[in-house]
Amino acid sequence: MCLIAFAYKVHPQYQLIVAANRDEFLDRPTEPARFWPAEPHILAGRDRKAGGTWMGITTSGRFAAVTNYRDLRLPRVEGPSRGVLVRQAMETGFAPENSERYEGFNLLYGTIDRLMYHSNVNGETLDLPPGVHGLSNHLLNTPWPKVLRAKAGLTELVAKGPNVEDLFNLLADRRHAPDQELPDTGLDPERERALSSIRIEMDGYGTRCSTVVMVDRTGVVTFEERVIQPPSVGRFEFSIP
């Protein structure tokens, strides 16, 4: 994922509300979200190149999602795909012990009752407090314009009563940040500007899919993924025991 806004334990009806966009190269082979045939307890999309995923949830209530950390000035690490981290977290419920093997990442993981955050950039591991949080290609709740806009939009939707369509509308925001508010991650200003919108559209790269996950306080999970190109919609509902 490249943008995740989530409301955790702040709504009277929903334990967790997630609105997320996956940004990726358009030619990277991908499977849309489904229950994996060989591991039917996992609901997630799949990166066909490396075999991992960017976000998923299990039938037992384990949730995980990853974003890359973007700073071109950091040394490159030739390691496994970061999508493997999500799969491991859904299987074990834990962050990896050897996180230094990977390029910079942020990992959300745990259960609906206890959600955690780990970054291998600063080594931080947090037991997440209730609240509306945002995560993009820097550390948790870094005040990038797209993160602030997503958090503000989600906060407003939580207050009025969230629904799936409103959450997808939030994820479709194509507005770019003003130049003076752009982060400095080592990219040229034109690319930094193009990446500053909630939904990204660039030549050969952009938002591939948007996903909404809502888990109510009785354990009912609603998971909907909308793939942008080629267009498709996957909607799933199940109950956590």
pLDDT averaged over consecutive 10-residue blocks of the chain (241 residues)?
97 98 97 98 97 98 98 93 96 90 97 97 97 99 99 98 97 98 98 98 98 98 96 98 94
As for how many domains the chain has, the answer is: 1
Structure tokens at 164: 């799936």
**pLDDT value of residue 97:** 84
- DSSP string covering 87-112: HHHHHHSS--TTGGGSSSEEEEEEES
**pLDDT value of residue 1:** 82
| Residues ≥6 apart with Cβ < 8 Å to 238 | 43, 59, 220, 221
- Domain of residue 25, CATH code: 3.60.60.10
HSE-CB for 141 with a 13 A CA cutoff = 10
What angle is formed at CA 105 by the lines to CA 99 and CA 108, rounded to 5 degrees?
A: 90
**pLDDT value of residue 229:** 86
**pLDDT value of residue 66:** 98
**pLDDT value of residue 33:** 99
Strand, coil or helix: 127: strand
Cα 64 to Cα 101: distance, rounded to the nearest angstrom: 19
Name the nearest CA neighbour of 81 among 45, 39, 53, 119.
53
HSE-CB for 235 with a 13 A CA cutoff = 3
- Strands 115-119 and 105-111, how do they pair? antiparallel
Domain range enclosing 26: 3-239
Phi/psi of residue 109, each to 5°? -160, 165
Find tokens 């409301």 and name the residue: 7
Contact call for residues 179 and 193 (beta carbons, < 8 A): yes
**pLDDT value of residue 104:** 97
Greatest pairwise CA separation for the chain in angstroms: 49
**pLDDT value of residue 96:** 85
Contact call for residues 218 and 204 (beta carbons, < 8 A): no
**pLDDT value of residue 230:** 87
**pLDDT value of residue 217:** 97
Q: Per the confidence metrics, is the pTM higher than 0.95? A: yes
Where in 26-129 does DSSP place strands (E)? 30-36, 39-47, 55-58, 62-68, 105-111, 115-119, 125-127
